[in-house]
Amino acid sequence: MALIGHYINGVHAAPPEAESGQRYGVVFNPATGEAQHQLAFASAARVAEAIAAAAAALPGWRATSLTKRADVFFKLRHLLVQRRDELAAVVTSEHGKVLSDAAGEVARGLENVEFAAGLIQHLKGDYSEQVANGVDVHSVKQPVGVVGCITPFNFPVMVPLWMVSNAIACGNTVVLKPSEKDPSAALLLAELFTEAGLPPGVLNVVNGDKEAVDAILDSPEVRAVSFVGSTPIARSIYERASAKGKRVQALGGAKNHMVVLPDADIEAAADAAVSAAYGSAGERCMAVSVLVAVGGVGDALVAAIQTRISKLTIGSGTEAASEMGPLITAEHRDKVAGYVHRAPAEGATVVVDGTADPVAAGPGFFLGVSLLDQVETGMQAYRDEIFGPVLSVVRVPSFEEAVSLVNENQYGNGVAIFTRDGGAARQFEFEIEAGMVGVNVPIPVPVGSFSFGGWKDSLFGDSHIYGPESIHFYTRSKVVTTRWPDPASSSVDLGFPSNH
């Protein structure tokens, strides 16, 4: 198996053959279940090396002109477009998602590179003239320093580009710790940044597990931490890093609801539910995992979804006909299947049992899609973030109860409503407690010029990720107050022209 190492100070860094205590992990191909790479886990010393490289590169990168920084991002965008098929193939080989999903992920990452390229506009300060007699005030945005970025397995290109692009554009240097389950995409991104002209040490990639994460969180050189992952880990990272005085944005889990009102287009809602619940095997924090059927719409909606499920093609992500690939690991596949197995004992109806799908018995980490009906809020399938191809249907009699159901959930990442009633949609938008809302849009991920993030247990910290809020997160504001002597009253000859 090929060995995957790290990327430090502009070069690939594999562990020395005789390095004492070196630990390794395995990167699998989820479609076959076979081990394809050996991954070197970074020790605390190796992470410190990457942080030192970032700290050494900081003064030079911070002093680099905005136009030269922007040039890096224009070149990077060109390289990403040129090599997007290669990037998508890397994602599919280690994550398992189908190539069309992987290509879409690259495209969404490109949006953030394009946003970062406009850094000259984003980093503008403010200026007020004559706030007092002869006194002016202006503000500037300056980088926070070395930034630690810790990213999840489900979007190994998009999420790193969410964080790294704007952090670097703002003049910071970065140590990126990608998921140990699919690390190769992050290393390829680092190569492309270097090819685009990014100086050595500005972006470093370390692979590993909790030891590497803790080394980032505990380092006094790291001034800010960005994280995307599960809620328990997000909370832990926020508490540990913020206690050490670091700026932290930690995005956690979700339980995204899709509310369908009686006046909705049932066929369109069913299409949306299937794509939003089962796309990327449900392994995304914006996946719809709860469908809230309001009034008498439940039976027709469940029947329409069941019909569509029977037509889904599940297979290797490299096969053109595949619409859904495998899950990331065998352990996660089995965990997801457990929710389906336990559902009947809790009182839910298993309309479609994905664990009984023949694909689940084959090689690789495959699982069929499941549809649960008559789910109640006390059931485990409702309470937990399953992060797999399982859709739960909850039935409520009224719009008001649907809103209460969503608002009482511990998560507040994304939510959607399907209706033809503009008044109901506006009221829903006004009352609902979630960071991202879709109206007849099942996965309301904002475009790169807005910011992504949830409420409640879906976010720890006060800044959403990418877009304008990321500029605020990755910079510190400095306010300068100036007063200069009147040249006419100065006894020093300043060389001003005279009519004498």
Supply the DSSP string of 341-385, one letter for each residue.
HHHHHHT-EEEE-GGGSGGGGSSSS----EEEES--TTSHHHHS-
In the prediction, which pLDDT does 500 show?
52
Residues 440, 418 contacting (CB under 8 angstroms) = yes
Six-digit token string for 496:
């001003």
CATH topology of domain 256-439: Aldehyde Dehydrogenase; Chain A, domain 2 (3.40.309)
Domain coordinates in residue numbering, the chain: 2-252+458-481, 256-439
d(CA 368, CA 303): 18
Angle between helices 158-169 and 184-195 (to 10 degrees): 40
Domain 2-252+458-481 has CATH 3.40.605.10: yes
d(CA 42, CA 335): 28
Q: Which of 234, 246, 90, 229 is nearest to 151 (CA)?
A: 229
In the prediction, which pLDDT does 92 show?
98
Q: Which of 340, 14, 11 is nearest to 201 (CA)?
A: 11
Residues 140, 125 contacting (CB under 8 angstroms) = yes
Alpha-carbon distances of 118 from 30, 158, 469, 477, rounded to whole Å:
38, 19, 15, 19
Catalytically active residues are: 285
Residues 257, 444 contacting (CB under 8 angstroms) = no
Q: What is the pLDDT along the chain (500 residues), one digit of tens a residue?
A: 899 999 999 999 987 765 678 999 999 999 999 999 999 999 999 999 999 999 999 999 999 999 999 999 999 999 999 999 999 999 999 999 999 999 999 999 999 999 999 999 999 999 999 999 999 999 999 999 999 999 999 999 999 999 999 999 999 999 999 999 999 999 999 999 999 999 999 999 999 999 999 999 999 999 999 999 999 999 999 999 999 999 999 999 999 999 999 999 999 999 999 999 999 999 999 999 999 999 999 999 999 999 999 999 999 999 999 999 999 999 999 999 999 999 999 999 999 999 999 998 889 999 999 999 999 999 999 999 999 999 999 999 999 999 999 999 999 999 999 999 999 999 999 999 999 999 999 999 999 999 999 999 999 999 999 999 999 999 999 999 999 988 777 666 656 566 55
pTM for this one? 0.94
2-38 core/surface letters (b: 16 or more CB in 10 A; e: else): eebbbbbbbeebebeeeeeeeeebebbbbbbbeeebe
d(CA 169, CA 71): 10
In the prediction, which pLDDT does 59 show?
98
Q: Which of 225, 227, 220 is nearest to 248 (CA)?
A: 225
The SS3 call for residue 456 is strand
d(CA 173, CA 9): 11
In the prediction, which pLDDT does 142 show?
98
Q: What is the C-alpha radius of gyration for the chain, rounded to an integer number of angstroms? A: 25
DSSP secondary structure of 384-432: S---SSEEEEEEESSHHHHHHHHHHSSEESEEEEE-S-HHHHHHHHHH-
347: left (phi over 0), alpha (psi -120 to 50) or beta: left
